[in-house]
């Protein structure tokens, strides 16, 4: 005898299985979606922290490594924590190690929302039905401060680099003198070592000269006997972007007050102006100061106070790049009246317009404070730079041009 089989209750089993499958799918789709979105937010927070920290390390805190509670640390953590990860601020850990194979001054930021280092884990919505109460993400980013070797906002001042005193009088570079129709080296002679990729040389360097008050004293490009003294500068002509160079008082004034937008790199030769340019210097500096009139140099903290930044520009318009020229080559050429012969490893006929010129040995940042008579008074600082592949770089201690790179 067979009994009739009932299908009653079979659908409950199917519904139960379906609910389990749907819950698992919802957990994967919704909760994994939370994790996926949060992962991108965490990476944004890490990137922001690393870049902000590297900027602070380049321009605000030059000690290496930075202090554990200094400007770089607080800039990095502040930028990271300002970026919420799924509605809440993450936890950020800051360190200074560079990744393997990367050289330079680095800032690494690790961001957590997974329960580590006191961070709050990410929530789950459907995962709780499967006894999964939380989930987490973390992200890391490293930015470094690299040395730039060019700028497209050069101002037309070329100042004498620093040297090692050995020949009196003090504060006057003496290495070469004309004699018998030629040039001879003095004994003893002052020494000048230009910066290179492996050395900061005898010239300006960081952090020693950061915030140093420098007086730019106008030199006469037509004189054969003007003494080369600290701060002595020559007026130079800058590239016009069409294969030539700007020239004359109006162009010189404009080149002081404005970024001309054409690159100048280390080891490049710049032709000299034909005159002292006293009037255009005064006018150009006045134009420049008017772009950020409230700015001043804070001597105690070695920073700019009262600036219009960031409303007017990313960097105060009164911070400008200026050329440091190779005084050894210049004096040798001037004493011999020879602007065409090869110099050491540099080629013959270096001057691009055929007259007198100087070689760019380094590039400094310079905060233009005021004028005193015909002198331009300001303070040495770092400056955002560019990197040109076919131009040399200078050693880290001499590099005032800073380039921020996200390396990981």
Scored b (16 or more CB within 10 A) or e, 198-233 reads: eebbbbbbbeebbbeebebbbbebeeeeeebeebbb
Q: Round to whole Å and give the CA distance between 21 and 4.
A: 32
Q: Are the C-beta atoms of residues 238 and 357 closer than 8 Å to each other?
A: no
Residue 382 lies in a domain: yes
Question: Which residue blocks in 137-260 are alpha helix, DSSP H?
Answer: 249-257
Six-digit token pair at 268? 């490049």
- Mean pLDDT, all residues of the chain: 91
9: pLDDT strictly greater than 90: no
Q: Round to whole Å and give the CA distance between 311 and 290.
A: 15
pLDDT band at 38 (very low <50, low <70, confident <90, very high): very high
Q: Which of 19-28, 29-38, 80-89 has the highest mean pLDDT?
A: 80-89
Backbone angles phi, psi at 211, to 5 degrees: 80, 5
> Would you call 343 exposed, middle or buried from its count of C-beta atoms within 10 A (0-12, 13-18, 19+)?
middle
Residue 20 lies in a domain: yes
100: pLDDT strictly greater than 60: yes
Residue 178 lies in a domain: yes
Residue 3 lies in a domain: no
Answer with the one of 89, 122, 147 that is the final residue of a domain.
147
Q: Among 57-71, 310-324, 332-346, 348-362, which is the least confidently predicted range? A: 57-71
Six-digit token pair at 376? 């331009």
Q: Are the C-beta atoms of residues 273 and 223 closer than 8 Å to each other?
A: no
Q: 382 and 238 in one domain?
A: yes
At 330 the three-state DSSP class reads: helix
Q: Are the C-beta atoms of residues 367 and 383 closer than 8 Å to each other?
A: no
pLDDT band at 26 (very low <50, low <70, confident <90, very high): low
pLDDT band at 28 (very low <50, low <70, confident <90, very high): low
In this prediction the pTM is 0.84
pLDDT band at 63 (very low <50, low <70, confident <90, very high): confident
128: pLDDT strictly greater than 80: no
Residue 124 lies in a domain: yes
Q: 245 and 363 in one domain?
A: yes
Phi-psi bin for 151: left (phi > 0), alpha (psi -120 to 50), beta?
beta
SS3 content of the chain, % helix, strand, coil (to 5): 25, 30, 45
**Domain count of the fold of the chain:** 2
Q: Round to whole Å and give the CA distance between 248 and 245.
A: 10
State the pLDDT at residue 131: 74
State the pLDDT at residue 21: 64
Q: 167 and 142 in one domain?
A: no
Query: What is the domain range of residue 122?
Result: 10-147
52 vs 19, 57, 69, 94, CA distance in Å? 48, 9, 15, 12
State the pLDDT at residue 78: 95
Q: 141 and 161 in one domain?
A: no
70: pLDDT strictly greater than 70: yes
> CB-side exposure of 398: number of CA atoms within 13 Å?
24
State the pLDDT at residue 185: 95
Answer with the one of 147, 178, 199 that is the final residue of a domain.
147
Answer with the one of 94, 117, 147 that is the final residue of a domain.
147
Name the DSSP letter for residue 332. H
111: pLDDT strictly greater than 70: yes
Six-digit token pair at 345? 């490893």
- Report pLDDT digits (tens) over 206-252: 999 999 999 999 999 998 889 999 999 999 999 999 999 999 999 99
- Report pLDDT digits (tens) over 263-298: 999 999 999 999 999 999 999 999 999 999 999 999
Q: 132 and 220 in one domain?
A: no
State the pLDDT at residue 20: 64
């Amino acid at each position: 005898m067979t009994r009739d089989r009932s299908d009653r209750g079979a659908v409950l089993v199917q519904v139960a299985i379906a609910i389990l499958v749907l819950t698992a799918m919802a957990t994967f789709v919704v909760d994994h979606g939370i994790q996926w979105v949060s992962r991108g937010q965490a990476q944004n927070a890490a990137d922001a922290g690393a870049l902000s920290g590297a900027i602070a390390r380049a321009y605000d805190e030059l000690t290496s490594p930075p202090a554990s509670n200094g400007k770089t640390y607080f800039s990095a953590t502040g930028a990271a924590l300002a970026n919420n990860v799924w509605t809440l601020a993450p936890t950020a850990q800051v360190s200074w190690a560079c990744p393997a194979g990367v050289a330079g001054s680095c800032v690494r930021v690790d961001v957590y929302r997974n329960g580590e280092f006191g961070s709050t884990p990410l929530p789950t919505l459907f995962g709780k039905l499967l006894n999964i109460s939380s989930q987490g993400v973390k992200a890391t980013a490293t930015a470094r401060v690299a040395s730039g070797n060019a700028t497209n906002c050069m101002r037309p001042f070329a100042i004498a680099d620093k040297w090692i005193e050995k020949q009196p009088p003090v504060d006057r570079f003496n290495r070469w003198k004309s004699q018998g129709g030629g040039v001879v080296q003095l004994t003893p002679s002052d020494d000048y070592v230009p910066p290179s990729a492996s050395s900061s040389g005898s010239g300006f360097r960081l952090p020693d000269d950061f915030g140093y008050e420098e007086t730019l004293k106008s030199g006469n490009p037509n004189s054969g006997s003007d003494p080369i003294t600290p701060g002595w500068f020559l007026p130079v002509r800058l590239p016009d972007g069409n294969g030539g160079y700007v020239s004359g008082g109006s162009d010189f004034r404009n080149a002081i007050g404005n970024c001309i937008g054409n690159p100048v790199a280390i080891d490049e030769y710049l032709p000299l102006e034909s005159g002292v340019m006293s009037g255009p210097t005064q006018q150009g500096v006045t134009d420049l100061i008017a772009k950020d009139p409230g700015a001043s140099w804070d001597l105690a903290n070695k920073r700019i106070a009262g600036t219009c930044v960031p409303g007017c520009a990313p960097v105060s318009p009164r911070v400008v790049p200026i050329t440091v020229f190779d005084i050894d080559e210049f004096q040798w050429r001037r004493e011999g009246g020879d602007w065409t012969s090869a110099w050491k490893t540099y080629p013959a006929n270096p001057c691009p317009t055929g007259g007198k010129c100087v070689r760019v040995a380094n590039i400094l940042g310079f905060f233009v404070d005021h004028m005193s008579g015909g002198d331009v008074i300001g303070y040495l600082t770092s400056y955002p730079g560019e990197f040109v592949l076919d131009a040399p770089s200078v050693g880290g201690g001499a590099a005032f041009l800073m380039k921020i790179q996200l390396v990981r």
